[in-house]
Amino acid sequence: MTSKQEKLTALFKSARVVPVLTINRLEDAVPLARALVSGGVRMLEVTLRTKVAVDAAKAIIANVPDAIVGIGTILNADDLARAEELGAKFGISPGATPQLLKAAAASNLPFAPGIATASELMQALAHGFETMKFFPAEQAGGIKALRALAGPFPQVQFCPTGGIGETNAPTWLAEPNVIAVGGSWLCQAVDIKSGNWAGITAMCERTVKSAKAA
């Protein structure tokens, strides 16, 4: 494993839960990040799914020093370069095209490709990645699928996302090849829209508590 990968693996292991942030209004970025950090959740995946995503990530980096900001929904080499330029600490993709894997292997950004099948996983392994996002986790076969992948690929560690929430997060975290879980349940669209920062902090506190017990 390369040192940039070791960095990402260590980040996942210490975080255990990683919120997937979709920020539509720039002014929500900093209070949202503060709410997550207050709840004990520091590793944040800001997805490139909205027009303000890059500025939102920059605002969080500038104003919330305790947040460890990464970029999610990285789809190609340009997205990867944008993440590196803005000072992200890590990058995550829902998938793994050959072009993206090549660019990520050449970049200094700690990066987790997304996989849902053995063949995708093997492509990621061929580019030197051993820590991966399993996406969409529940929809792609859930824990049974992940256990099946552990057979031929014991060296791979996962952060599953997709369909994970407060109730099933501890079950996923109890799997030996799961180092963290991610998802949008920690900062739901309805709470962001209404500015329910206290509700987001409370959700984080509950999840962190149950993750520690898992």
Catalytic positions are 45, 133
> From the CB of 71, what's the least distance to ligand 3PG, in Å?
12
Cβ pair 164, 130 in contact under 8 A: no
Measured CA to CA in angstroms, residue 114 lies from 80, 108, 136, 195 at distances of 14, 18, 9, 31
> From the CB of 47, what's the least distance to ligand 3PG, in Å?
6
Nearest CA to 53 out of 74, 77, 76, 31 is that of 74
* Calpha distance 168→138 (Å, rounded): 10
Q: How many residues are given for the chain? A: 214
Smaller CB separation from ligand 3PG, 62 or 192: 192
Radius of gyration of the CA atoms of the chain, in A:
16
Residues within the interface to ligand 3PG (CB under 6 A): 20, 72, 94, 135, 161-164, 182-185
